[in-house]
Structure 1
């Protein structure tokens, strides 16, 4: 079965160019030229990847990303942006995008990013299938249900964003192992974002605020000074 990709891009020539170069790789492609149509298609269809422009008429790409993640739709999102500032790109990652590509971009880089995101999605599916009954992880009063992507603390549900959940799940899968910020960024975001390690810091801080009784003295997600972070053993 060919993977299905939704392209939400208001510039018709760029939209058509992306579609053409993904169809030659045998992906099934759907297109939207504005944010309202793109959001509707993303919510109604079962896509394996969404390519989402930031600047869109109707609803912008960042808002679409927020809405999808708030509704527990975790389809990988590749964000397109003409903005070159570091802050703009970090915002895209922090609202739930899995990767970003800055315009203008090469066709080969676009295809490589798409392949990498789809490979990661397939790997995650295989892991979930293989783990089967080991779907729940319980550490003290913290419980994580992998396939349902549900987290609770002392029986109370915790509302995590998509990336907060991915970060927690990755750390808890390797208790006691220390990861640098760059390693976490590469593993959880699925692509090398050199220079954006502080994105990990902000996610760690928000995660601690939600799952730690005292975020200043965490018992789950621990800092290893000068190195990075680890999950408690």
Structure 2
């Protein structure tokens, strides 16, 4: 069966770049919609299905970071790739903290953008293919929370807790390996796939963001605990995870 062409929404205020990307990505078999600012993005996301949202950070009116943060706060889970003329690593970290899935500094080649878009689409489809009824139909409960895997939804005392795509994937990876230590590299593969290029710092940032969402005291986490020298461990009952009681998760975990 032929795969459905990926549908991409690009918001960027540079008309020449929009035209170039629409032509190039379209020639590669993608369906591309472009807009010049943030204003129409929410309406288009509500009306049409897209696989990836590409956002320029520097746009007139609402910038890409603010829009990304607002979409994630509303529970929007579409993979978001940020484009920016800012190349400083701290800006990439801020983008991840706002809920972006990937970050590409300008100037870039259309081929590199295509590769990153394809990786995001492929990762989403692989996760969907692997999330069969047995693996995806469960609910993981911890503390006051219920993580509904099939619905990609987190509840606290019956109220929805908004999660970005990055946050959900990371929490899902942890919750599906309870009481087992996961190294940063292993956790990155489980959450985002083999194609995801990230540093130890970026996974630490994502863990910190999750802790702020689910821990009563993020400085003293009960559910996402650090295993020194190894990585992290998800502890549903919140008990202290001793080194000896936390076996590492192997490749078949």
2:249 alignment counterpart:
none
Give the TM-score of the pair, scaled to structure 2.
0.80
Shift of 1:214: 5.0
Distance in 2 (CA, whole Å) between partners of 1:49 and 1:29 is: 10
2:114 aligned to which of 111, 116, 132: 111
1:1-233 mapped onto 2 (5 Å cutoff): 1-131=4-134, 134-139=137-142, 142-153=145-156, 155-157=157-159, 159-162=161-164, 163-185=166-188, 187-189=190-192, 191-194=196-199, 197-213=200-216, 215-232=218-235
CA deviation map 1:106-161 (0-9, x unaligned): 222111111100011112222334437733223465421013232235x3536243
Aligned residue pairs, count: 230
SS of the residue corresponding to residue 52 of structure 1 reads strand
Q: Secondary structure at the match of 2:225?
A: strand
Deviation, structure 1 residue 85 = 0.5
Gaps of 5+ in 1: none
Report the aligned-residue RMSD.
Answer: 2.4
Are the equivalent residues in 1 in contact too, given 2:179–2:233 (CA < 8 A)?
yes
Task: Report the Cα offset of residue 8 of structure 1.
Answer: 0.8
Closer/same/farther in 2, CA of residues 148 and 103 from structure 1, 3 Å limit: same
Separation in 1, partners of 2:145, 2:190: 22
Are residues 170 and 158 of structure 1, via their aligned partners in 2, closer, same or farther at CA, if it must alter by over 3 Å?
Answer: same
